[in-house]
Amino acid sequence: MLWRSPRREDAYEIHELVRQCPPLDLNSVYNYLLLGEHFSDSCLVAERAGSIEGYVSAYIPPLTPEVLFIWQVAVRESARGAGLGGRLLQRLLARPAMGRIRYVETTVGPDNAPSRAMFLRLAGHLGAPVHESLLFDRSLFGPDAHDDERLMRLGPF
């Protein structure tokens, strides 16, 4: 497996991967281009035989430099269940650019058991306490059906 930051040429393939990974919100190709362009230190792809098998996008919020906010984690369906998502997160946190990070935050839908299991396992690996709260109520998303976005905060570690 090759672990690397996303390149411009990956944006469309990442977009297609996310399309195949419900319940993730599918963002525009332009969004994935920008993430790779401006947040390459905090985004990672796992590539095997020229194919992107996994992707994580994240950023450090400007006002909280000790927090890494994980936006999307996507693992190709055929590659799931082998810990690839967790390894993406651990490799990301091991980067020199993450030296000040003491918390991981993410939102997990109430029914997304695989995602919840992945983040709880990461918390165990980090020896980090986990705290959950409501971040974005479903009513904030307008008329389109959308789950609550619950904040899962891991740390301090």
Ligand X SMILES: CC(C)(COP(=O)(O)OP(=O)(O)OC[C@H]1O[C@@H](n2cnc3c(N)ncnc32)[C@H](O)[C@@H]1OP(=O)(O)O)[C@@H](O)C(=O)NCCC(=O)NCCS
Give the pair of three-digit tokens for residue 34: 């920008």
Q: Based on the shown chain and the rule CB under 6 A, indicate whether residue 85 belongs to the binding site for ligand X.
A: yes
Among 14, 60, 74, 154, binds ligand X (CB under 6 A): 74
Nearer to ligand X, 113 or 134 (CB): 113
Among 14, 115, 149, 152, binds ligand X (CB under 6 A): 115
Q: Taking the complex as a whole, how short is the minimal distance between the CB of residue 56 and ligand X, in angstroms?
A: 8
Among 4, 29, 59, 80, binds ligand X (CB under 6 A): 80
96 and 61 in contact (C-beta within 8 Å)?
A: no
Q: Based on the shown chain and the rule CB under 6 A, indicate whether residue 81 belongs to the binding site for ligand X.
A: yes
Residues of this chain that bind ligand X (CB under 6 A): 21, 23-24, 72-75, 80-86, 112-115, 117-118
